[in-house]
Amino acid sequence: MTPAEWTKFLHQHLPITSEMGAKVAVVGGHQIEIQCPLTPNINHHGTAFGGSLASLATLAGWVLVSHELAENGLSDAPLVVQRSRLKYRAPISEDFTVTARVTEDRFAEFVSRYWRAGLAWTAVDVAVLAHGRVCVEFRGVYVAKRGYGVAPK
């Protein structure tokens, strides 16, 4: 799917992403970029709400792995986040960008494992960028298991 198609999919199937103003700007080449406005994600301090940042980081990893699965003929592979770790490095008081990347080697191993065993996992690193620097670091482990749940259509 294109960035616009991903944005439409997210807004339709996860309506909170529309309320958060999340817009997929880049997807492909083992990376994704989601642009987000501060205003719908603001807290009482005038900075980005930690829950919004955690949700958007989790979402970026999920979209990236879902996209990569589809690119490898596995669009029907159900995918969930298994665990995650977040580090808030600095407050965000402007619009921000969420970026996720996975190495080609790591993803090739993930796809190979899924084809062989029907169960695979991979770690995805996500950064939330604002003020010219990384303000939040996230690492999520995403699991695809044949026969579990429903994959995105």
The pLDDT of residue 77 is 87
Evaluated on CA atoms 97, 49, 39, 65, the torsion sign reads: positive
**Closest to 99 (Cα-Cα) out of 75, 135, 71:** 135
The pLDDT of residue 149 is 56
**Closest to 61 (Cα-Cα) out of 91, 85, 95:** 85
The pLDDT of residue 148 is 66
Kindly state the helix (H) or strand (E) to which residue 99 belongs, with its residue range: strand 96-101
The pLDDT of residue 55 is 97
Token digits of residue 6: 């991903």
**Closest to 63 (Cα-Cα) out of 120, 116, 13, 113:** 13
The pLDDT of residue 75 is 84
The pLDDT of residue 152 is 52
Which class does domain 3-145 fall in?
alpha beta
Contacts of 4 (CB under 8 A, 6+ apart): 24
3-state helix, strand, coil in the chain (%, to 5): 35, 35, 30
d(CA 146, CA 22): 29
d(CA 147, CA 153): 15
| Residue-by-residue pLDDT tens, the chain, 153 positions | 999 999 999 999 999 999 999 999 999 989 999 999 999 999 999 999 999 999 999 999 999 999 999 998 888 888 999 999 999 999 999 999 999 999 999 999 999 999 999 999 999 999 999 999 999 999 999 999 987 655 555
Q: What is the pTM of this model?
A: 0.92
